[in-house]
Amino acid sequence: MSTRTTPQQHLPGDGLRTALGIGGLIAIVLGLLIVCFPAASGAVTMQIVAALAAAYALVVGVVYLGTAVFARTIRGWARTGRVALGLLYIIGGVVMLVNLGATAAILAIFLSVTVGALWVFEGALAFATLKQSPSRAWSIVHGVVSVLAGAVLILTPLLAAVTLWLLLGVSMLVLGVVQAVRAFGMKPAA
């Protein structure tokens, strides 16, 4: 006796709908916080990143000191170098923690300048590979836009950091709305 079964249509489960919906709502809330309170949300976020960087420096410093003290095979300058490096990491971590606001501002500037430099190099690469490009006009446009955008980031890093932060907020808001609408528009699993 054999029974014929028909394959069931694969519909997204309620778990997926819920996850997408919650993710969308979280993105909406974060996007609204960034757009409505860009300075406060940016400062808090950068201070969290700065605190994580400081904690990393402290942990690495302790590891270097521990290696210098407890490793039996390390001698001479290798041991001295590890002690010095460990102390420098620890001092750097303490300085970052004590000056969390300044560390956050420096990290924001560093991030803007880094992205700017990457965009300048990306534009230069677009120009350097013009001969291999199937569409030279688009490669030129890409190169010009990349170099100009990179130069703006490098020359005005704080303004650029704020602009990128607002762009992130708007993107999270829009994508969160789309994701939530998509999630709640899905048919429930049968």
Asked whether residue 52 is domain-assigned, the answer is yes
Q: How many residues does the chain have?
A: 190
Cα(19)–Cα(10) distance, integer angstroms: 17
Cα(148)–Cα(120) distance, integer angstroms: 8
Asked whether residue 2 is domain-assigned, the answer is no
Domain membership of residue 56 as a residue range: 14-179
Give the other-Cβ count within 10 Å of 112's Cβ. 23
Note the pLDDT tens digit of each residue in 21-76. 899 999 999 999 999 999 899 989 999 999 999 999 999 999 999 999 998 888 89
Asked whether residue 8 is domain-assigned, the answer is no
Contact 108, 158 (CB under 8 A): yes
Cα(43)–Cα(79) distance, integer angstroms: 39
Asked whether residue 137 is domain-assigned, the answer is yes
What is this structure's pTM? 0.69
**Number of domains forming the structure of the chain:** 1
Note the pLDDT tens digit of each residue in 114-148. 999 999 999 999 999 999 888 899 999 999 999 99
